[in-house]
Structure 1
């Protein structure tokens, strides 16, 4: 394992950088005289209940409230019915510190949130002078019976809050309406998010209260560790909330544990207690955002004094890539996407196709996709993109027909002429896997199922060197990175 890896398996983060989207902490915690705020979210709209529109607002609100130290206790989705809205608002208002509604404040007949909130507090609605003037100026009408003027009618005790854009310093054109502890947000996600960003600290900030969280990543299935989790929850549930989330498609872990508390010292204590009781070596180091972390980790290794074959190969690869980028002006401008070449075989694995598409989106790539043989694909690339003069390859010297290559090698004379940049030429099989797994980089799921070299579906099979049988005689394959005989990496190819 590379020397630049952090030795601690836990990743401590401030709650301002991490959230859990489900309801958190099943009780109100009081600590050092500080009372934790709670919130209830009411999503209003028939279109949500009918599945015609997806609710993203509650997700957004939960993230932001968590970062402000506010515990979301309940999320309710109800239809556009005044009586239903009134009943739900009244119940939420008496139960939680803050109530947030989203939706139902437009000009149409089915927008009934303001009327419902008024009824919840036994109030009438009336045309607020400021809102009347705003709507008159925007829509050019002062007719109180106009549907557009409907948005000016609010409960008698309502207050108006004009948010301020934190970047431009400009005051919001339209205010947020609040009635007691109920804050009435629009249903359109862009509008809600804009209003929330402007007003969240004014409305919800709870000074001195901040969640602290730890993520732990476990390479055992949930059944294996269930008894330990139950023990920890029973012992510490009043101070620390423990969540367990199985993951089915991840190459690095099977369960993500989240621990949350207002007391950072207690959180560390519980993490240590948990680590000591989990199966040995089951807690793994995992970087949730490897793309963001990669540059710092990479150059830590490149600039280190580590003198190993692996470290030297990484250092050389970075040098070759930097030289190639400089020589061929391959740096994209701030708006251009980095181009990636994918030459698709006749019978590609579905898993490979999926990985290509996911990688395109993850790394914001412009995918140049061609079909058939590599030589033909390179010809099409040259015809369609004549300005491209060089291609960064993943070729290693142990690949077929590659023993004569250098870090910079032109294609053969009878091929379309490109400079092939080969930063990984001297890398060994084990170096590739050390690099991928040290950086927690995603890779095609086939490698976790015994495949060590991927071609087409008609010429590629799991590597027999990784085959084993369980107690019942069922055949399984270990993951590609467990192959000890590196020279046998192509044993699964016809």
Structure 2
């Protein structure tokens, strides 16, 4: 509960293009208050849900709703079929009317938003009106709010979140990894469950309440296949798979126009594991040769296993030797310096993206329980590409970085870094010996005597352009979108353009550029830079 519930971000939605319609769940829902037989469209084993998103800011487009995507994904995996999603304004009568309708039709009604101390936080009052109950202080919530806000004045706006419908129950989740009960409860009234609208809070709380929603009679099995061809070219195979397996398996096809590794994601869903495996084998055997991409969708989560899996492989190559040498340098660095004495240079480029992933994996290997943030140094140029800035922000969140941003010349920025963070003694850099003024460097090299004094740690010195792209593509690492548009070396907007070596003319006479990883000659890497 327990901050002012705020804004949602980044609507994540997919366009489902091919769906074989099938009921995953045997019909029927558990009885819910106010649910009449004529209104039920389920039988005893069906668990259904209706989601109500509350907030003027959603309807006005001021904030993007990510909560429904998060909740529906989990509910489906728990055997709960979401029947309807509604977005309503901050209006008591409207919210109450929607709750009355939903609670009579679905096993669960789940709301998000409208919980907080301000005038437009109306969810509790609306639920009370829907069920004809007064809203009154809950002693346990009053105590929680008192601890959090430091007051027990029932007239204070801070105590508004402690006033809930009379029959409300407080539900606690449990973290399976620690066995600890959640600190703050979920408010539940009859078959209605009231979640906050702040995505970070909802995403933490919702999975921990799995046992309150999961259908014990259903287990959904899923598989995914990633394809590098466009959807039209594989439609005949999908149609045939539909015809053969639609009784037991739901097949979904999701085009992706921006992913760097695949163009279509296929999903297979079924209660019957054997049927699912049969459909999966059919697609593997009948899709065009080499169409399937071995895609790692969670490269950061699986970074340690993926990286050290390469290191444990007995087969050796120049590339694996480069990786091993880089890991050795980073492991030596962690032996010499504490984590708070190190920061990672990260400017959003391809070399730094490789570097960041290596550092993340090595740190997680050495300190598996470390939950802090790795410091990352970003020296911002005068005219950075918006795409680079966006990628840096995404990477910050993906790798849980503490960004230390400075503007201006590198020497001046290092001086500011030293003044503001005197604890930092070393900077891990993505420098390669083919970079300007870098051929003389070693893996560990102090800055020049007339510069702010830092140890420069250079794990990638001997890597080639090809090595960089082999690593990125092998691990399916996200990278800045400019590289898929023909840029091979990123500077500022005033000195960087697509590499002419990647230019071609398509069948319609339009000039285009191949992605950076298709550059055939490493020495042409900087052909797109003015200086």
Q: Normalization by structure 1: what TM-score?
A: 0.76
Name the CA distance, whole Å, in 1 between partners of 2:202 and 2:409: 51
Would you say the 8 A contact 2:20–2:252 is kept in 1? no
For structure 2, the residue ranges without an aligned partner over 5 or more in a row are: 1-11, 27-42, 147-151, 155-159, 342-366
Query: Does the Cα contact within 8 Å between 2:223 and 2:268 map onto a contact in 1?
Result: yes
Give the conservation status (yes or no) of the 8 Å contact 2:444–2:457: yes
1:103, 1:113 within 8 Å by CA — same for their partners in 2?
no
Residue 8 of structure 2 corresponds to: none
Give the TM-score of the pair, scaled to structure 2: 0.71
Q: For 1:312-331, what aligned pairs fall within 5 Å after superposition? A: 312-330=321-339
Q: CA deviation at 1:94?
A: 5.8
Aligned-residue offset at 1:21: 8.8
Change in Cα spacing, 1:285 to 1:36, as seen in structure 2 (3 Å) is farther
After TM superposition, give the deviation of residue 437 of structure 1 in Å: 1.1
Q: 2:227 aligns with which of 209, 218, 228?
A: 218
Distance 1:127 1:347, change over 3 A: closer
Displacement, 1:486? 1.7
Distance 1:164 1:281, change over 3 A: same
Q: Does 1:177 align with 2:172?
A: no
Aligned twin of 2:312: 303
Verify the 8 A CA contact 2:103 2:109 in the aligned structure 1. yes
Q: Does structure 1 residue 163 correspond to structure 2 residue 171?
A: yes
Q: How does 1:357-436 map to 2 (within 5 A)?
A: 357-436=393-472
2:162, 2:518 → 1: CA distance? Answer: 69
Q: Does the 8 Å CA contact 1:21/1:62 hold for their aligned counterparts?
A: no
State the superposition RMSD in angstroms: 4.2
Q: Mark the CA change 1:361 to 1:53 in structure 2 (over 3 Å): closer, same or farther.
A: closer
Secondary structure of 2:171's partner? coil
- Number of aligned positions between the proteins: 454
Deviation at 1:312, TM superposition (A): 0.7
Q: Is the 8 A contact 2:110 2:194 kept in 1?
A: yes
Residues 163, 198 of structure 1: 8 Å contact kept: no
Q: CA deviation at 1:432?
A: 0.8
Summarize the alignment of residues 98-113 of structure 1 with structure 2, pairs less than 5 Å apart: 98-100=108-110, 111-113=125-127
Q: Structure 2 matches for 1:60-459, cutoff 5 A?
A: 60-78=70-88, 92=102, 95-100=105-110, 111-117=125-131, 151-153=164-166, 161=169, 163-166=171-174, 167-168=179-180, 176-178=188-190, 182-185=191-194, 200-201=210-211, 203-330=212-339, 334=370, 336-459=372-495
| 1:291 alignment partner, SS class | coil
Which residue number in structure 1 is paired with residue 50 of structure 2? Answer: 40
SS of alignment partner, residue 301 of structure 2 = helix
C-alpha distance in 2, partners of 1:346/1:458?
9
Q: Give how far 1:262 is off.
A: 1.1
Larger radius of gyration: 1
Instruction: Pick closer, same or farther for the CA change 1:235–1:429 going to 2, 3 Å.
Output: same
Alpha-carbon distance between aligned partners in 2 of 1:102 and 1:336, rounded to the nearest angstrom: 29
**CA 1:232–1:291: 2 relative to 1, 3 Å:** same
Please give the alpha-carbon distance, in whole angstroms, between the structure 2 residues aligned to 1:116 and 1:445.
Answer: 48
* Change beyond 3 A, Cα 1:22–1:206: farther
Q: How many Å separate the matches in 2 of 1:105 and 1:341?
A: 38
Please state how far the C-alpha of 1:318 moved relative to its aligned partner. 0.3
Following superposition, the deviation at residue 421 of structure 1 comes to 1.3
Change (3 A) 1:397 1:269: same
**Alpha-carbon separation, structure 2, partners of 1:436 and 1:148:** 47
Is there any run of 5+ residues in structure 1 with no aligned partner, and where? Answer: 1-18, 119-124, 142-146, 155-159
Does the 8 Å contact 1:37/1:97 carry over to 2? yes
